[in-house]
Amino acid sequence: MAQLPDHERIALLTERLGLPAGSLRPELALEALRSSSYVNERALPPSRESLRSNERLEFLGDAVLGMAIAQRCYERFPDAPEGELTRLRSSLVREESLAIVARSLLLGDLLLVGRGDGVGDNPSRLADALEAVLAAVFLSCGMAAAQALLERLLAPLFAQTVALGRDPKTELQHFFQARRRAPQYCVIAALGPPHAREYEIEARLDSVPLARGIGKSKKEAEQAAARIALEQPELLERALLDEPVALEEGDLRWSVLAAEEIARLHALLGEDVEIEHVGSTAVPGLAARPIIDLDICRLAPLPRLPEYEPAGPGAFRKRGPRGAFNLRLVQPDILRDHARLRDFLRAHPEEALRYAADKRALISAGATGSLRYDQEKAPLLAKYEQDGNTIRIRTDSEENP
């Protein structure tokens, strides 16, 4: 709509915002719709127009938005602590939420941008423009009108956030369900006399403690534990990585699943990318965690891979009905080392059996979470020293002179 007359552009914006005709001051409405690229383009010869972009209005709109949302969160959740109110506000004012609202208004069609600088579906540009429009409404109609507009535009997002905000236990459940996991709650203690009982409950993921909460009922204590857990996102991410460890006997299906996944990855990344099935599931008959390890050697960073989620630097994982996979982006020498150890264990079944026994001993000694298990398994792998194309097994006397 680049050739749309100014008065029609303003009228369309007013209509899409659901405001009465003539509510917006024309100069503010147009300023809110002007990108810096549009202004810079017209400042050049021959036009040399002196126009103002929407950046100043965006600054004001950000403050208006933050104040309006903070007030509504404060009023709607009288018992919520500061940390929860902050989380609720952040979920509503984040770029993705504002871009959703901007798209619903078809705001991108009304923006004035420079030639070749289409906004398209850029969430950042759409969110910035929405904040500028909000500032124009505030300056034209006042804070009450801006507040009412936000209530209406953000109603669907607010309803979803309200449901989660009132129920931290549900929010924690949703967080883990997205990764195919589920939290558990364990009563630690029942405190006080029967007529004034308080419960202490611990939220856990598998055997990993997340947080403890106290309440006058079990439900209240569970909500308190979930709320405290949600305030520690790094702890939650670490707990997700710390999967329970259990070994299964070697399964021929692992090699089939690995070959299918490698073919799928080649289709996404190209046939020239080197991908190897490594680890215990790549050794026939070797007891292993039923998680297929794949090494990828690729010079460029990996693009976003469907169904995979980050699991650390250069590491990704997928868990689903078609199997569990760990994916690592490695250098050529690391890939060669992993493949050489795999081939060594394939060629020496007696050594594979000893390795399996050592892994079972780790689990029996308490390494039942993947983080501790991987850490304590490292010395087992260090026994297999590689020299060129050969592998030498270090003896116990060499390890403990």
Q: What is the per-residue pLDDT for 400?
A: 46
Which candidate, 129, 133, 155, places its Cα nearest to that of 146? 133
167-241 is classed CATH 3.30.160.20 = yes
What's the confidence (pLDDT) of residue 195?
84
- The 3 state secondary structure assigned to 232-301 is CHHHHHHHHHCCECCCECCCCHHHHHHHHHHHHHHHHHCCCCEEEEECHHHCCCCCECCCEEEEEECCCC
CA–CA distance, 211 with 83 (Å, rounded to integer): 15
Mean pLDDT of 342-359: 95
pLDDT value of position 256: 96
Per-residue b or e along 305-330, where b marks 16 or more CB atoms closer than 10 Å to that residue's CB:
eeebeebeeeebbbbeeebbbbbbbb
pLDDT at 88: 77
Catalytic (active site) residue 131: yes
**Can you tell me the distance from the alpha carbon of 337 to that of 266, in angstroms, rounded to the nearest whole number?**
22
Instruction: State the virtual CA torsion across 276, 281, 282, 286 in degrees, nearest 10.
Output: 160
- What pLDDT is recorded for position 144? 92
Section 277-284 average pLDDT: 96
319 by DSSP, 3-state: which? strand
**Per-residue pLDDT tens for 126-166?**
899 999 999 999 999 999 999 999 888 887 777 666 554 55
- Say which residue the tokens 């976003």 belong to: 304
Q: Where are the domains of the chain?
A: 6-163, 167-241, 253-399
Percent of the chain whose pLDDT exceeds 70: 93
- Residue 207: alpha-carbon gap to chain centroid: 23
Is the model more confident about 156 or about 187? 187
Q: Any idea which of 49-63, 159-173, 206-220, 269-283 has the lowest mean pLDDT?
A: 159-173
| Tens of pLDDT, residues 53-72 | 999 999 999 999 999 888 88
7-46: per-residue pLDDT in tens?
A: 999 999 999 999 999 999 999 999 999 988 888 888 777 7
> What's the CA gap between 158 and 89, in Å, rounded?
10
Which of 131, 261, 276, 295 is flagged as catalytic?
131
- Name the active-site residue from 31, 41, 62, 295: 62
Separation CA 57–CA 136 (nearest Å): 7
Given this model, what pLDDT does residue 310 score? 83
User: Which superfamily, per CATH, for 253-399?
Assistant: Beta Polymerase, domain 2 (3.30.460.10)
Give the homologous superfamily in CATH for domain 6-163: Ribonuclease III domain (1.10.1520.10)
- Residue 101 pLDDT > 70: yes
